[in-house]
Chain A
């Protein structure tokens, strides 16, 4: 069986009619007991399993997924990876993620296609340029790359946008982050799954958690559709359904689930090789390797678990896109979809003990979970292995809602909420 992926193995397998490729991961039956059980086989859950084995040497670990791997928000996002945040805590978190992404394909021996094509956050007025300068300064002080770009330079990067002076929202410039980019979302889930599996971790699909095994107020495992599974510690990384786990176990979360929509157009010849985001128009887009424009925007304003979006937000996002890139007005959509995202009051994630002994949570990533997958896994693994925060995850502990130390990125970074 060929296990290692390389140009040489493709050549070798080509000569053998591709009959020697093994399965990327096993399909094990759940054991009766593990050191750690992770609920949720999306990017964050699988990355947590991988880093538990790699960084902490803990391999008696199971990842339990009620559907298929990466079938939730990991497979429903617009694949943007970036660390252009305002507060030091956020930059530390998302820059750790971007750095891990930079070496991830080699580390996992799986091509996650991280393309650092850069991202422009557009400014449409002089006051917005002032705020952009403040943002760029904050990002640079916090140690990540940022550049204030005027319209002339931006036009060289992204000529497809509307630079006309009589545009309703004329483009004055942008906050540019050159290390930002896009990745292949499914590959991130599959790459982490394959690497975790090779380190001995059990990935159990089609197995839904239906309850928690509680003994003397401490969680000792989970009840599942495949029977009870005991665990030393349980980690929940279930994104939009975090409140469901909280309800089963009896802890409370500051989360409201909303639908976030995304859109892909028919394949086009290359029109843009960066990510362009206009906060004023409420839309952003990039172009995939297959040529489809990948388009996103803000949340539907109605709490929902429906995994499908509403028409007003489709209209808002697409009309916003046409406002700053009118040349795209005749482009047809190929498909669009919605994911259920877990939104917190400060638009920052929640990583920490749940409040019930033995259960830990990694949730609240809201509209930006994909970019954070490696960091979320890295930090959550640290928490589950050591029962203590990594310095980078400590500010995101749920106790911030008690102390009032919120990290209000929704107000600070101009992201689409």
Chain B
């Protein structure tokens, strides 16, 4: 069983985590005109990298949303950090 690092709870069983999305996308500014292509790219386009990938995960028991960097081939976890602004690890 692999263990993933929650920035708040430490190393926990991988079953407690939920993969949410790839990191790095910004929701289009809906106060401006947003083209269909922009919506498609935001909603559906994935880099889906081989190797190092930066992803948004949720630790289900504590409900914290955080950033985790992993290698998608070796499954090694490289780093994890909180997304909250006030949290400094």
Interfacial residues, chain A to chain B (CB-CB below 8 A): 241, 243-244, 247, 252-257, 301-306, 310-312, 345, 401-403
Contact = CB atoms under 8 A, between A and B. Distances in A.
Contact of B73 (A252, A255, A306, A311): A306
B79 to A, nearest CB: 16
B75 interface: yes
B36 interface: yes
B47 interface: yes
Contacts of B53: 303
B75 A302 contact: yes
Given A253-B45, A311-B2, 5 more contacts: A255-B46, A303-B19, A303-B55, A401-B40, A403-B36
Contacts of A302: 14, 19, 75
Contacts of B37: 402
Interface in B35-89: 36-37, 40-41, 43-50, 53, 55, 72-75
Contacts of B41: 252
B18 interface: yes
B15 interface: yes
Nearest to A403: B36
8 contacts: A247-B47, A252-B41, A252-B45, A253-B48, A255-B48, A304-B72, A304-B73, A401-B43
Contact of B48 (A243, A301, A311): A243
Nearest to A346: B44
Given A243-B48, A254-B46, A303-B72, A402 B36 contact: yes
Contacts of B15: 312
A303 B56 CA distance: 12
Contact of B44 (A254, A257, A304, A311): A254
A68 B14 CA distance: 34
B45 A402 contact: no
Interface string B4-41: 00000000001100110000000000000000110011
B58 to A, nearest CB: 11
Contacts of B47: 243, 247
B72 to A, nearest CB: 5
A403 B40 CA distance: 9
Given A253-B46, A305-B50, A311 B75 contact: no
Contacts of B49: 243, 247
B48 A257 contact: yes
Contacts of B14: 302, 310, 312
A9 to B, nearest CB: 45
A68 B41 CA distance: 34
Nearest to A243: B48
Contacts of A310: 1-2, 14, 75
A276 to B, nearest CB: 26
Contacts of B73: 304-306
Contacts of A305: 50, 72-73
B1 A311 contact: yes
B37 to A, nearest CB: 7
A259 B43 CA distance: 22
Contacts of A312: 1, 14-15
B71 to A, nearest CB: 9
B44 A401 contact: yes
Contacts of A402: 36-37, 40
B36 A257 contact: no
Contacts of A306: 72-75
Contacts of A311: 1-2
Contacts of B46: 243, 252-256
B45 A257 contact: no
Contacts of B72: 257, 303-306
A154 B41 CA distance: 46
B20 to A, nearest CB: 11
Contacts of A241: 50
A256 B48 contact: yes
Between B36, B40, B46, B47, the greatest number of chain A beta carbons within 10 A of the residue's beta carbon is seen for B46
Contacts of B44: 254, 345, 401
Contacts of A304: 72-73, 75
A252 B38 CA distance: 12
Nearest to A399: B40
A345 to B, nearest CB: 6
A377 B22 CA distance: 31
